């Protein structure tokens, strides 16, 4: 294959991986609400993830011949691709496994992206194409790093930063009541991640939660309601439902 085409498989895989992470975080947190809804964002995340795997495999297949054995950048790339393929396989098994067991495996995508980024930068340094990667690579890498870091900040911090608006439950400071529609959603680990003192997933995958948590938990419960992909969590405070 032409030497001018081979590098583009890797570059496009790099961009697709970064965009996949961004869409995944926005899907899980519910920070972005467009006219098409969260379903469209989730499908975009899945399509970009598929492109990442396909382009990564093509990049490896067209570049593996003649590679020097033992080069760190190539080792990082191959390990990152292996992790990415594993994440893609487990994503296809999501419906047949407990979400609490599946989620840590899916989060290995963060590791795959960082390994891919290091592979790209070391490769650019070795090939003398750092100026090209600096412009295009930083453009997609900085938002990915920023969104990933924000993903793991607690809701009160996000409110102070202006990332999310204060929920009505936080302003009311009254008695909090939580209801979960078990018929709508089975991805209860998202609730536990956002409000671990209110929601707890048992070994068999069932959910236990406090129906009347402390008012101080209102912001975290509201974050869990936003993160629920099926909108199965309902929050009521002083007559205001969320």
Q: How far apart are CA 144 and CA 93, in angstroms?
A: 26
Give SS3 for 209: strand
- Which of 220, 110, 216 shows the shortest CA–CA distance to 157? 220
- Is the CB of residue 185 less than 8 Å from the CB of residue 64? no
Q: Is residue 192 left, alpha or beta, with left meaning phi > 0 and alpha meaning psi from -120 to 50?
A: alpha
The continuous run of DSSP H or E covering 146 comes out as: helix 130-151
For 120-164, what is each residue's pLDDT tens digit? 888 877 777 777 666 767 788 888 889 888 888 887 888 787 777
Q: Where in the chain is the domain with CATH 3.30.70.20?
A: 158-241
Q: How far apart are CA 158 and CA 224, in angstroms?
A: 14
pLDDT of residue 53: 92
- Is the CB of residue 230 less than 8 Å from the CB of residue 188? no
Q: How many residues does the chain have?
A: 242
Tokens of 185: 């959603």
Give SS3 for 178: strand
Hey, how many other C-beta atoms are within 10 angstroms of the C-beta on 54?
Answer: 15
Tokens of 199: 């929601």
pLDDT of residue 172: 45
Extended beta strands in the chain, E state: 176-180, 199-201, 207-209, 233-237, 240-241
**Architecture of domain 158-241 in CATH?**
2-Layer Sandwich (3.30)
Hey, how many other C-beta atoms are within 10 angstroms of the C-beta on 157?
Answer: 11
The end-to-end CA distance of the chain, in Å, is 55
pLDDT of residue 151: 83
Parts of the chain with a pLDDT under 70: 1-6, 33-38, 64-70, 94-102, 132-134, 136, 166-174, 186-187, 229-230, 237-242
Q: How far apart are CA 186 and CA 183, in angstroms?
A: 8
């Amino acid at each position: 294959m032409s030497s001018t085409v081979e590098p583009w498989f890797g570059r496009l895989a790099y961009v697709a991986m970064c965009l996949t992470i961004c869409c995944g975080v926005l899907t899980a947190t519910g920070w972005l609400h467009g006219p098409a809804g969260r379903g469209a964002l989730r499908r975009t995340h899945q399509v970009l993830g598929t492109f990442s795997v396909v382009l990564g495999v093509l990049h490896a297949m067209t570049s593996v011949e003649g590679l020097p054995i033992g080069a760190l950048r190539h080792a990082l790339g191959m390990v990152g691709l292996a992790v990415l393929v594993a994440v893609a396989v487990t994503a296809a098994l999501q419906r047949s496994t407990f979400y609490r067991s599946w989620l840590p495996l899916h989060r290995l995508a963060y590791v795959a992206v960082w390994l891919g980024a290091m592979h790209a930068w070391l490769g650019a340094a070795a090939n003398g194409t750092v100026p090209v990667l600096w412009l295009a690579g930083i453009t997609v890498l900085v938002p990915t790093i920023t969104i990933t870091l924000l993903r793991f900040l607690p809701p009160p911090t996000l409110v102070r930063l202006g990332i999310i608006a204060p929920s009505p439950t936080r302003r009311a400071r009254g008695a909090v009541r939580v209801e979960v529609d078990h018929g709508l959603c089975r991805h209860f680990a998202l609730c536990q991640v956002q409000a671990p003192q209110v929601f707890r997933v048992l070994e068999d995958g069932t959910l236990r939660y406090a129906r009347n948590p402390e008012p101080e938990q209102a912001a975290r419960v509201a974050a869990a309601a936003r993160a629920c992909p099926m909108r199965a969590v309902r929050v009521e405070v002083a007559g205001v439902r969320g």
